[in-house]
């Protein structure tokens, strides 16, 4: 148990382990984003990685070691209800939309609502407008996106996986924020022992509760 | 079997009689085999629940009923053995304290004693066998008891093997290893007393134990994190091999019911095609279909493992095969958008045994650090998602109309039939023939139904007709009621003629007059 429950790492010399979920409709470029970050490749025919759904990255931020586990999630509408199973116990969420696609931005709003409902303020949210290389075809206004992000306590970023813009900053910023949250947590809960106890339990299948909650959010796919 | 002389195998090997080799081989394959056959999975008693090879093919409930007593005895024996071992180990530990630096020696000594114990145990089991076989009058009892010790022996061989590995592993850690061994043993000794608690509480105890050990290793033992992880894996393997039979699918929960429910559900969804799920895998490529088969095998194999981590490893292997299949088809790394639908498809196709029990067991007893952040945890979460999706699957989630969905669910039609023309023009002849036959059958079915309705109509007509006739007759009868009138005059006159016959003078008789 190198670091129980992600945030509860801390003490001298131990590394932080963070779980970050990647949310976003299909085709917004989630996969390209992580592949660019972890492999520094884009649409490359020579990508050797077998998959881009679970990737890890080791970082060193100001002497603090961080193990980042990036969980991709299925973005299709039909899998929307499964969200809570994915983002349980995650420390951060990256919500990706396509700046040329208004719909994908609306989807992000739904996810934000759900995440806040399920995980409260413990989770660091990043709203990411991808594909800024297609600036001419932009359909989501910068102002609208940024003011929305601020209103829900999230940070907004603009990225282009194709041109490798803004991605490094996005992840670095997120990691810093997650470390801060984890430190606050540890201080508040004293030594992190009780916190570890609470956050210790693994993934569980939740039967009805999240279903009902996502339903009340007005964005449930089940009719 | 007995004809050893004539058997070619016995001649080749010389010493060993043929039957013993055969027996060994069958034992081996039994242990290695993956049980896929449905009938083998069900409880022998026919109660409809799953059986388990570890329970001699019975389900947990029937097994408990059948062998409760025998098991109690075994537990008692184990308990005594554990106590004896504890005493011996303490003695050994005390002696090692006096002569420092002889720790590894302590372990080997301890091991020696352990093997002694093992052989003693085996002989008692043998005695038990022979004693019961001699008692011919108690045949019934013998039959009920005989399989139980053999199973205990088999499982104890495995647990012994795991224990030995565990001890060998701990040896490399010297004093820390010894401490871990003690903690583990204490935990295992305490668990039997907790069997009355709910499974959630038992899980809680186990999780607490994992956490305590890990913390101690890090703070007191000053063991580096990578080694702690290895150590935790070994501990999990050791304790879960022992606890498995008590905490996997316990009868206090409705795990078994859920298993059956999901199994039925998957069977009912047999008609779901890869196209409906948008699975990005082209099974017509031989390599891909190979990967699909491997993935299915892996996910089914999960049930045969006892340690949560080994079960997780099966899921991970399955996932890797899925990624390979996607990579070959699409020639790019798979994202979750590709992976989840494919995993759902694999689960639907494989219908893995005791799916819910396995998921619950892993959730309750797996080392949490592995489950929450690691790669295995990610695949496990996806499996949970797949199961949740299958449970809640409806027309919308397959992009079907409600009518189509209902028709497929009720088995009235199959989507494959309609797709046979559009999807697989070069499908093999047999399949084509089958679809043709299916068409013919459905036509026949239609005609038969028509005949049935016609026949029913005819029957009704006939009944109506007879009823109509009856009614007409009735009407006529009512219209012209049958009256018994007094005898009619003219008739009476005729009759009276006869009546008064005697009054008449006798008829003239022809008389012959002479003359």
Q: Rounded distance, CA A158 to CA A131, Å? A: 8
Q: What is the pLDDT of residues A136-146, one digit of tens each?
A: 999 999 999 99
Q: Rounded distance, CA B423 to CA A39, Å? A: 37
Q: Which residue of B has its CA nearest to A35?
A: B333
Q: Give binding residues of A as ranges.
A: 26, 29-32, 43-44, 46, 48-49, 72, 75, 130-131, 133, 161-162
Q: What is the pLDDT of residues B215-251, one digit of tens each?
A: 888 887 778 878 888 888 889 998 998 889 888 988 8
Residues of A in Cβ contact (< 8 Å) with B232: 1
3-state class (DSSP) for residue B334 = strand
Tell me how crowded residue B81 is: count the other CB atoms within 10 A of its CB.
16
CB contact under 8 A, B335 and A30: yes
The DSSP result for B362-425, as a single string, is HHHHS-HHHHHTSHHHHHHHHHHHHHHHHHH--TGGGT--HHHHHHHHHTS--HHHHHHHHH-T
Answer whether residue B313 shows pLDDT above 90.
yes
Q: Rounded distance, CA B116 to CA B131, Å? A: 23
Mean pLDDT, chain A, whole residue set: 80
Please name each of the domains of chain A with its CATH number.
15-184 (3.40.50.300)
Of residues A43 and A119, the one with the higher pLDDT is A119
Q: Which of B227, B278, B372, B393 to mutate to test the interface with A (most CBs of A within 10 A)?
A: B372
Using alpha carbons only, give the angle B246, B248, B250 rounded to the nearest 5 degrees. 70
Are A146 and A156 contacting, i.e. CB atoms less than 8 angstroms apart? yes
Tell me how crowded residue A205 is: count the other CB atoms within 10 A of its CB.
17
Q: Which of B131, B392, B119 is nearest to B262 (CA)?
A: B392
3-state class (DSSP) for residue B190 = helix
pTM assigned to the model: 0.64
Average pLDDT, stretch B5-21? 43
Residue B77, CA atoms < 13 Å, CB-side half-sphere: 17
What are the C-alpha distances in Å from B284 to residues A43, A50, B415, B428? 26, 21, 19, 12
Between A2, A19, A47, which is nearest B229 by CB?
A2
B426 band by pLDDT with thresholds 50, 70 and 90: low
Residues contacting residue B407 through CB under 8 Å, at least 6 positions apart: B413
Instruction: Say whether residue B222 is in contact with chain A using an 8 A CB cutoff.
Output: no
Q: What pLDDT is recorded for position B92?
A: 66
Q: What pLDDT is recorded for position A128?
A: 95
Q: What pLDDT is recorded for position B53?
A: 73
B172-186, B193-207, B386-400, B430-444: least confidently modelled range: B172-186
Distance from the Cα of residue B205 to its chain's centroid: 29
Q: What is the pLDDT of residues B165-193, one digit of tens each?
A: 888 888 887 778 888 888 888 899 888 88
Strand partners of residue A158: A129
Q: Rounded distance, CA B306 to CA B310, Å? A: 7
Answer whether residue A1 shows pLDDT above 80.
no
A93-129 burial code (b ≥16 CB/10 A, e <16): bbbbbbbbbeebbebbebbbebbeebbeeebbbbbbb
Answer whether residue B124 shows pLDDT above 50.
no
Q: What pLDDT is recorded for position B498?
A: 59
Scanning B296-335 for CB atoms below 8 A from A yields: 320, 323-324, 326-327, 331-335
Q: Rounded distance, CA B233 to CA B389, Å? A: 31
Average pLDDT, stretch B42-53? 77
Write out the two tokens for A28: 């917004």
pLDDT above 70 as % of chain B: 72
Q: What pLDDT is recorded for position B155?
A: 65
Sign of CA dihedral B135, B136, B140, B146: positive
Please report which residue ranges of B273-307 form alpha helices under DSSP H. 274-277, 286-301
What are the C-alpha distances in Å from B122 to residues B115, B119, B126? 11, 5, 6
φ, ψ of residue A64 to 5 degrees: the values are: -100, 130
Mutual orientation of helices A167-189 and A30-39 as an angle, nearest 10°?
90
B252 band by pLDDT with thresholds 50, 70 and 90: confident
B58 band by pLDDT with thresholds 50, 70 and 90: confident
B160 band by pLDDT with thresholds 50, 70 and 90: confident
ipTM of the complex: 0.82
B474 band by pLDDT with thresholds 50, 70 and 90: very high
Residues contacting residue B336 through CB under 8 Å, at least 6 positions apart: A22, A30, A53, A71, A72, A73, A74, A75, B382
User: Which one-letter DSSP state was computed for residue B56?
Assistant: T
Average pLDDT, stretch B375-387? 94
B440 band by pLDDT with thresholds 50, 70 and 90: very high
Q: What pLDDT is recorded for position B430?
A: 80
CB contact under 8 A, A204 and B363: yes
Pairing assessment for the beta strands A64-72 and A54-61 based on DSSP bridges: antiparallel
Q: Assign 3-class secondary structure to chain A.
A: CCCCCCCCCCCCCCCEEEEEEEECCCCCCHHHHHHHHHHCCCCCCCCCCCECCEEEEEEEECCEEEEEEEEECCCCHHHHHHHHHHHCCCCEEEEEEECCCHHHHHHHHHHHHHHHHHHHHHCEEEEEEECHHHHHHCCCCHHHHHHHHHHCCCEEEECECCCCECHHHHHHHHHHHHHHHHHHHHHHHCCCHHHHHHHCCCCCCCCCHHHHHHHHCCCCCCC
Answer whether residue A20 shows pLDDT above 80.
yes
Q: What pLDDT is recorded for position A190?
A: 65
pLDDT above 90 as % of chain A: 51
Q: Which residue of A has its CA nearest to B387?
A: A205
Total number of residues shown for chain B: 515
Residues of B in Cβ contact (< 8 Å) with A45: 331
Q: What is the pLDDT of residues B261-291, one digit of tens each?
A: 999 999 999 889 898 999 999 888 999 999 9
3-state class (DSSP) for residue B57 = coil
Answer whether residue B93 shows pLDDT above 90.
no
Q: Rounded distance, CA B245 to CA B264, Å? A: 25
Q: Rounded distance, CA B22 to CA B32, Å? A: 15
Q: Which of B166, B223, B177, B179 is nearest to A1 (CA)?
A: B223
Q: What pLDDT is recorded for position B515?
A: 58
CB contact under 8 A, A86 and B385: yes
Average pLDDT, stretch B147-156? 54
Q: What pLDDT is recorded for position B487?
A: 63
A74-78, B105-109, B387-391: least confidently modelled range: B105-109
A69-78, A82-91, B28-37, B68-77: least confidently modelled range: B28-37
B425 band by pLDDT with thresholds 50, 70 and 90: low
Q: Position of tokens 């499908």? A: B427
Q: Position of tokens 């105890």? A: B205
Residues of B in Cβ contact (< 8 Å) with A222: 392, 394, 396-397
B97 band by pLDDT with thresholds 50, 70 and 90: low
A29-38, B7-16, B441-450: least confidently modelled range: B7-16
Are A35 and A52 contacting, i.e. CB atoms less than 8 angstroms apart? yes
Of residues B123 and A56, the one with the higher pLDDT is A56
Residues contacting residue B53 through CB under 8 Å, at least 6 positions apart: B35
Mean pLDDT, chain B, whole residue set: 77
């Amino acid at each position: 148990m190198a670091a129980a429950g992600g945030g509860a790492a801390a003490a001298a010399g131990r590394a932080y382990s963070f779980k970050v979920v990647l949310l976003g409709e299909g085709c917004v470029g989630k996969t390209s984003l992580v592949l660019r970050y972890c492999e520094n490749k884009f649409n490359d025919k020579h990508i050797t990685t077998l998959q881009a759904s679970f990737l890890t990255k080791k970082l060193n931020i100001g002497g603090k070691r961080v193990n980042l586990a990036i969980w991709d999630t299925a973005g299709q509408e039909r899998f929307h209800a499964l969200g809570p199973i994915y983002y349980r116990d995650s420390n951060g969420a990256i919500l990706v939309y396509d700046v040329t696609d208004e719909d994908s931005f609306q989807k992000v709003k739904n996810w934000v609502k759900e995440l806040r409902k399920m995980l409260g303020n413990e989770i660091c949210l990043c709203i990411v407008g991808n594909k800024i290389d297609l600036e001419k075809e932009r359909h989501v206004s910068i102002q609208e996106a940024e003011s929305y992000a601020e209103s829900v306590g999230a940070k907004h970023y603009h990225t282009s996986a194709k041109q490798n813009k803004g991605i490094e900053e996005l992840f670095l910023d997120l990691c810093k924020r997650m470390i801060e949250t984890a430190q606050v947590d540890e201080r508040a809960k004293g030594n992190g022992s009780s916190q570890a106890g609470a956050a210790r339990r693994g993934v569980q299948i939740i039967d009805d509760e999240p279903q009902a909650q996502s339903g009340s959010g007005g964005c449930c796919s089940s009719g | 079997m007995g004809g050893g002389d004539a058997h070619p195998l016995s001649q080749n090997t010389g010493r060993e009689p043929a039957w013993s080799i055969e027996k060994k081989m069958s034992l081996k394959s039994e242990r290695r085999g993956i049980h896929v056959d449905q009938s083998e999975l069900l409880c022998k008693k026919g109660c409809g629940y799953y059986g388990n090879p570890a329970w001699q093919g019975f389900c947990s409930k029937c097994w408990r009923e059948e062998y409760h007593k025998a098991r109690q005895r075994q537990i008692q024996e184990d308990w005594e053995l554990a106590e004896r071992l504890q005493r011996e180990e303490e003695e050994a530990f005390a002696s090692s304290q006096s002569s420092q630096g002889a720790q590894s020696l302590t372990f080997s000594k301890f091991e020696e004693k352990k093997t002694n114990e093992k052989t003693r145990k085996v002989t008692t089991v043998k005695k038990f066998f022979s004693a019961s076989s001699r008692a011919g009058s108690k045949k019934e009892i013998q039959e009920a008891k005989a399989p139980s010790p053999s199973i205990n022996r088999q499982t104890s061989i495995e647990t012994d093997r795991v224990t030995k590995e565990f001890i060998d592993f701990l040896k490399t850690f010297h004093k820390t290893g010894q401490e871990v061994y003690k903690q583990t043993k204490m935990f295992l000794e305490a668990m039997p007393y907790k069997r009355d608690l709910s499974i959630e509480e038992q899980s809680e105890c186990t999780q607490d134990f994992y956490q305590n050990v890990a913390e101690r290793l890090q703070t007191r033992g000053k063991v580096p994190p990578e080694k702690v992880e290895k150590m935790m894996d070994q501990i999990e393997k050791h304790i879960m091999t022992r606890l498995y039979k008590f905490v996997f699918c316990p009868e206090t929960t409705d795990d078994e019911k859920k298993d059956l429910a999901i199994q039925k559900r998957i069977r009912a969804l047999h008609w779901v095609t890869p196209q409906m799920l948008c699975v990005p895998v082209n099974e017509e490529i031989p390599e891909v279909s190979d990967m699909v088969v491997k993935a299915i095998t892996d996910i089914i194999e999960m049930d045969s493992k006892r340690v949560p981590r080994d079960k997780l490893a099966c899921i991970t292997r399955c996932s890797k095969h899925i990624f390979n299949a996607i990579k070959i088809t699409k020639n790019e790394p798979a994202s979750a958008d590709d992976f989840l639908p494919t995993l759902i498809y694999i689960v639907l196709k494989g219908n893995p045994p005791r799916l819910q029990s396995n998921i619950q067991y892993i959730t309750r007893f797996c080392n949490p650090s592995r489950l929450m952040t690691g790669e295995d945890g990610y695949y496990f979460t996806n499996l949970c998602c797949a199961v949740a999706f299958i449970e809640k699957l409806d027309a919308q989630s397959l992009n079907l109309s409600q009518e189509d969905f209902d028709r497929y669910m009720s088995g009235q039609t199959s989507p494959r039939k309609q797709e046979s023309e559009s999807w697989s023009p070069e499908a093999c002849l047999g399949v084509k023939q089958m679809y043709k036959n299916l068409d013919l059958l459905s036509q026949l079915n239609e005609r038969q139904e028509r005949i049935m309705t016609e026949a029913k109509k005819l029957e009704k007509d006939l009944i109506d007709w007879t009823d109509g006739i009856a009614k007409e007759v009735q009407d006529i009868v009512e219209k012209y009621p049958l009256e018994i009138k007094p005898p009619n005059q003219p008739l009476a006159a005729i009759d009276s003629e006869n009546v008064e016959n005697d009054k008449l003078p006798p008829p003239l008789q022809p008389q012959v007059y002479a003359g």
